[in-house]
């Protein structure tokens, strides 16, 4: 009888141990999921700021002459892009995804080149250099978004709207500027 009681107690302890381990693991997974959601939300905010800075320079990239205010916009945008890209590289690395890492470094390099162009704004060809850098930023963004499977303008791709990731919002297509600025 004592051995039977001991066997029942052992089974009870074993089952309790299993339930305890499962409870601890599920709590750990829940905390990790909450951390991942917070990280995604923070990254989404940073990417939104990057998008604002990029769109500011893209909006004026078609001008055939830049005013001092336009150069100021480019300077501020390139400074923001450099700062935000450094945050993304340091705070949200993906060591298992070398292409993503390389694309972030390329984004940083292109943003720094744009900042350098602002330093030479009074030289001949500076406007074309600034426009070139906007194209390089656009290309870098497009390649990275393609690598990650993110559609920049899902409304342009019928049937792809359903493929948005949870929490991902649609980025509207840029508005046509119409007539050039100085006309």
Domain boundaries, the chain: 47-151
Per-residue pLDDT tens digits for 80-116 = 999 999 999 998 888 888 998 999 999 999 999 999 9
171 burial level (CB within 10 Å; 0-12, 13-18, 19+): middle
The whole-number pLDDT of residue 93 equals 86
Architecture of domain 47-151: Up-down Bundle (1.20)
Q: Among candidates 112, 113, 104, which has minimal Cα distance to 85?
A: 104
């Amino acid at each position: 009888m004592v051995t039977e009681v001991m066997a029942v107690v052992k089974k009870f302890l074993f089952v309790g141990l299993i339930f305890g381990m499962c409870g601890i693991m599920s709590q750990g997974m829940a905390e990790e999921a909450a951390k991942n959601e917070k990280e995604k939300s923070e990254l989404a905010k940073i990417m939104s700021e990057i998008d604002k800075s990029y769109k500011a320079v893209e909006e004026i990239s078609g001008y055939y002459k830049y005013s001092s205010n336009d150069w100021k916009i480019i300077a501020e945008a390139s400074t923001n892009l450099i700062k935000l890209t450094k945050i993304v590289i340091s705070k949200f690395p993906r060591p298992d995804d070398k292409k993503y890492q390389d694309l972030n470094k390329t984004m940083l390099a292109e943003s720094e080149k744009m900042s350098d162009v602002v330093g030479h704004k009074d030289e001949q060809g500076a406007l074309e250099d600034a426009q070139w850098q906007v194209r390089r930023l656009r290309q870098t963004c497009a390649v990275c978004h393609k690598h990650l499977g993110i559609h920049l303008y899902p409304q342009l791709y019928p049937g792809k709207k359903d493929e948005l990731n949870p929490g991902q919002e649609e980025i509207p297509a840029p508005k046509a500027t119409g007539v050039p600025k100085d006309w």
